[in-house]
Amino acid sequence: MIRIAEGQLRFGERILFKDLGFAVPDGGRVGIVGRNGAGKTTLLRVLAGETFLDGGTVEVPPREEIGYLPQDLAELGVAIVSDFLKEQAGIASLERELRRLETLIADSSGEDASLLSRYDHVSALFRSRDGFSFEARAAKVLSGLGFGPDALSQPCDAFSGGWKMRLLLASILLAEPKTMLLDEPTNHLDTESMEWLEGYLRDYRGTLVVISHDRRFLDKMTFETAELSLGRITLYRGNYSYYLDESARRKETLEKQARRQETEIQKTEQFIERFRYKATKASQVQSRIRQLEKVERITLDGEAAAAVLRFPPCLRSGFDVVRLSAVSKSYGTHQVFGDVSFTIHRGEKVALVGVNGAGKSTLSRLLAFEEEPTEGTMHRGLNVLPAFFSQESSRNLDYRNTIWQEVTSTGSELSERERRSLLGAFLFSGDDIHKPVSVLSGGEKSRLGLLKVLLRPSNFLILDEPTNHLDMATKEIFQQALMAYDGTLVIVSHDRHFLDDLAVRIIEIRRGKVHDYHGNYSYFIERRKALLELEGAEAPPSGEAPARSVQTERERKRDEARRRNELYRRRQEVLAELKPLEALIDDMEAEKNRIEETLCDPSVLADSERVGKLMIALDETRKAIESHLPRWESLMERLEAVEAKPL
């Protein structure tokens, strides 16, 4: 179990944690959320044993049972990938011990019983950790995270920073620790790798504590949400979507309580001031003063400043914005994609997706007319004014300039006052506008690059990973601005929630070819899965025509009615067993939540005997829930199969 009680941590004059209490039971899945700078990463470092509190108590599993993924890149050295993964999983040390014992046994002609006993013990431990199949498992995990088939034999330092973070994540998954502490695990993953990771973690039975700006990842992977604010943790018994709804409700209630409290305080202060010098009221005044001193004022977490994003009305372009005909793009002998043909129409909001390295950024530069195709033709429509945002901030900004110089370099016709007002809306105010671009954070550079796009007259936006360094609140604002944008949009993003509500068309680059899907991201995922299954199926013999239906219209309707009734009957049969089972599981989940909530009570945590009993009850309840889940999953699969069956 993870538990922090009365945690205190100060950095200089700044108090980061104040009487912080936090508890995660074994097998819990918690997402940590909060504003930038609230201390989320520091909290994870405390749990990982890399940072220590100034006061309070910390109870965590032994370090060898924890897998910690930091947000910042850790150097992996020059070891071969397979050796690095074995070392991290504890397999390499066992292999070395086995080789050492084999040599000693051979030298003793196999007559030393203690050596044989030690060899049997180490061999059993090696087998228990799947040592003999480790490389096969490692290859599977690396493939899921987007690595090629030869990755195991390459040195770690041959990979870029983002891929090294994937290697570190792979090492944690392969080590199978009892507790995973993951700080922004999806930052360097494409959508396919994210989906694979979600599938892998779905089957993980240990404790998971994760920080992420990916709303969909948190919704799928966590059952509880811990909000870190004002040095304290507030726990919400649900995923991120539940947290948003519940925190808004709690905030509204707290604001009402704060207003009532302020009214009472004002009345008390007015009484004290009015009768302070009247002898007949002296005792009452002193009583009110003591009463006021005891009041614990309700503290509201002040609203963080938010960027205001609003795109100006666009010049109307021709209906065909850009048309590609048999376009190919190569760099030297390497062809990124070939024979690409499609047209983007006025007002469309299109997402470019694909695995890392598929060519999304290359295609976005072509669409922005930043590069020329190697083969084929590209036609820009009438009155089309493109504006391009690159994921490489050095393409968007001149690091030698200040913020103000970058804004004035756009050629915008806005007045100085209007530019300053817009800078303030993007959270650049006062003397901040004279900062050199080179000292800005990743999020600040992204905001400034987006502001420059906004200042340029355009009606065709091409945005390559614009949300990489934006927090959730800014991403939501940016998404709303893009949805209201009346021009044409092409966007590259790994944020699935962001794309789902925004894009109405998905263009996927896969294996050098383009696949076009007219629908949102969820539709694309379903459709792509079906198409990939069809591609793997055996094609019918060449020239064989499908059998022609000879049913009359009346026979067809009668047959459909019969099948509809049969599906209804089967569905009711499944529901008759499923509903009582779900009610039972819901009751047990409620009991589990009640116990967990009790364990978060500081007064309970002080009673070790009661905590022990509660932990036993919690373990029994969790086991009871797990014992019913296989049957529930089986019934759900049956229900889905019935509902998905065509008429």
Q: What is the pLDDT averaged over residues 575-598?
A: 84
User: Nearest-CA neighbor of 170 among 204, 144, 209, 203?
Assistant: 144
Position 123 pLDDT exceeds 80: yes
Q: Identify the pLDDT of residue 101.
A: 86
Tell me how far CA of residue 58 lies from CA of 1, 5, 320, 553, 595, in angstroms. 11, 7, 62, 73, 21
**CA angle, 373 as apex, 518 and 446 as ends, to 5°?**
65
384 burial type by CB count under 10 A (0-12 exposed, 13-18 middle, 19+ buried): buried
Q: Which amino acid is at 229?
A: S
For 86, list phi and psi in degrees, rounded to 5. Answer: -65, -40
R_g over Cα of the chain? 30
Q: Identify the pLDDT of residue 645.
A: 54
Q: What is the pLDDT averaged over residues 118-127?
A: 86
* Beta bridge partners of residue 32, listed in sequence order: 211, 226
Q: How confident is the model at residue 170 (pLDDT cuts 50, 70, 90)?
A: very high
Q: Identify the pLDDT of residue 344.
A: 94
**CA angle, 585 as apex, 583 and 591 as ends, to 5°?**
105
Q: How confident is the model at residue 119 (pLDDT cuts 50, 70, 90)?
A: confident
Strands 505-510 and 513-517: antiparallel
In the chain, what percentage of residues exceed pLDDT 90? 28
Q: What is the pLDDT averaged over residues 131-136?
A: 87
Q: What is the DSSP string of 53-109?
A: -SEEEEE---GGGEEEE-SS-----S-BHHHHHHHHHTHHHHHHHHHHHHHHHHHTT
* Highest mean pLDDT: which range of 308-312, 329-333, 465-469, 544-548: 329-333
Cα(330)–Cα(342) distance, rounded to whole angstroms?
18
Q: Identify the pLDDT of residue 465.
A: 84
pLDDT tens track for 296-322: 777 666 554 555 667 888 888 888 999
* CATH code at 2-90+129-238: 3.40.50.300
Which residue's structure tokens are 């065509």? 646
Q: How confident is the model at residue 556 (pLDDT cuts 50, 70, 90)?
A: low
Q: What is the pLDDT averaged over residues 524-534?
A: 79
Position 547 pLDDT exceeds 70: no
N- to C-terminal Cα distance for the chain? 51
Beta strands across the sheet bearing 29-33: 66-69, 179-183, 207-211, 29-33, 224-229, 232-236
User: Nearest-CA neighbor of 389 among 447, 442, 343?
Assistant: 447
Q: Identify the pLDDT of residue 542.
A: 35
Q: How many residues does the chain have?
A: 647
Beta strands across the sheet bearing 334-345: 334-345, 320-331, 375-380
Q: Which CATH architecture has domain 320-534?
A: 3-Layer(aba) Sandwich (3.40)
